[in-house]
Amino acid sequence: MSRVADTIAQRNREAGGALIGYLPAGFPDLETSIEAAVALAENGVDVIELGLPYSDPVMDGTVIQAATQQALAGGFRLRDGFTAVREITKRADIPVLVMTYWNPVLQYGVDRFADDLAAAGGAGLITPDLIPDEGADWLAASDRAGLDRVFLAAPTSTDERLRRTVEASRGFVYAVSTMGITGARSDVDAAARTLIGRLREAGATSACVGVGISTGAQVREVLEYADGAIVGSALVKALADGGVEAVARTAAELAGGAAR
């Protein structure tokens, strides 16, 4: 059972597809990040992706890097991520996935991390730098704790790697539409459509596209072939420039692209 997969499936039955929104915990401060995440849920976002700030964010673009570095400079600690999940899930009735690089989980303890995330009401993890072949500890811990596990697939992945990724993932497979770091782009890479097709051939029933989506029109374009669209930098920039109100407006505009 996967609440994330169920939510995505429901949105594909009832609307154009699912909208997944990313924000970093602790930016610009912990309380505001919680309010901003709740605003996502109140303005059409179907699944929240809550990022844990990390000192070496190799996949993140400049907007997200600046936000996470500010959160760390403001004193963010990993345990604050569990606090954020707990407070968000008290107020928002949508799944909250945590996006984290793998090293903080290892340092915290894989089983302890799984238990604390489940206790806080979290739905699971997105792990951008962990591949299924190296994730035995997380596969076991997530099974035991009943958590989803979202692995990434890239246009350069071999067919065998895609098959393994599909088999190991629960919730959805995260299709990276362009190679490189995250960030809003004027055009969503056409490679995303091909990658989703390859994931379907590998058996994926829930595949969402992220990296480079920043407008409602792009959300609509992606949902023509994918189950969900993931937006990050556009929401983080809105929060940085205009606070929670701007996040709410941006989320609502993006959600318009997911309407049938």
Catalytic residue check, 253: no
Catalytic residue check, 60: yes
Q: Is there a contact between 38 and 88 (Cβ–Cβ < 8 Å)?
A: yes
Q: What one-character DSSP code corresponds to residue 170?
A: B
CB neighbours of residue 69 within 10 Å: 17
Strands (E), the chain: 18-24, 47-51, 96-99, 124-126, 148-150, 152-153, 173-176, 207-210, 228-231
The Cα 121–Cα 95 span in angstroms is 9
Q: What one-character DSSP code corresponds to residue 75?
A: T
- Catalytic one of 35, 46, 49, 116: 49
Classify the C-alpha dihedral 139-49-170-116 as positive or negative: positive
> Distances from the Cα of 208 to the Cαs of 22, 34, 152, 227, in angstroms?
13, 24, 10, 5
- Catalytic one of 35, 60, 80, 148: 60
Catalytic positions are 49, 60
